[in-house]
Structures are given as structure tokens and as C-alpha cells.
Amino acid sequence: MDRISALRNVEDALTAFEAGEADLTATERRVAAVLRTYATTFEGEDAVYRATGDPPVDGRVVVAPSPPAARERVVAVAGVDEEALDVFEVERV
């Protein structure tokens, strides 16, 4: 799914919410599904990586040019110091 398709799908979900055709929970699920699909079919120069390990990094998904850069981005978005974390891995999605 390219960026424009993802944006259109999110817009469709919001339109359905605004029209009363969907509640907030259904809209959140629909938008999350769009984001998951977009992330797993990402077509940029960078790649998508998922972190596995202890909270708060476990399950974080980031876009980065390399595994070391992905580790840095995971730590940054988790808002913690890498030294404070136990070992965690990043793998390409």
C-alpha cells in the first residue's frame, strides 16, 4: 500500500466515523489496520524494523536505513536510555 492509498483509507475511516456509520472503536481498529498494512508493505529507501525484548521497546516498529539506526530510533521513541534497557533485538519486518 502506498502513502496515498493509506491516507485515502484513513480518510474513509474518518468519514464513516463522522457520518455515524462507525463508532470510535471500529474507527481505531480500521486506522490501525491501515497503518499495519502500510508498514508491512513500506516501499521507501529505508526498511521497517520491529523490536523484541522487554517493555517499553517490545513491539515497537520503526522505519530506518539499518539495524543500528533502527535500535537508536526504537530507544528514542520509547523515551528511555539504552543503558537502562536489557538486551533487545530489531528485525526487519
pLDDT given for residue 13 in this prediction: 98
pLDDT given for residue 67 in this prediction: 95
pTM: 0.75
DSSP string for 4-53: HHHHHHHHHHHHHHHTTSS-HHHHHHHHHHHHHHHHHT--SSSEEEEEES
Grid cell, residue 6, equals: 493509506
pLDDT of 86 > 80? The answer is no
The Cβ-side half-sphere exposure at 44, using a 13 Å CA radius, reads: 14
pLDDT given for residue 91 in this prediction: 95
**Identity (one letter) of the amino acid at 68?**
P
Distance from C-alpha of 80 to C-alpha of 47, rounded to nearest angstrom: 23
The pLDDT tens digits of the residues spanning 6-50 come to 999 999 999 999 999 999 999 999 999 999 999 888 878 899 999
pLDDT given for residue 83 in this prediction: 76
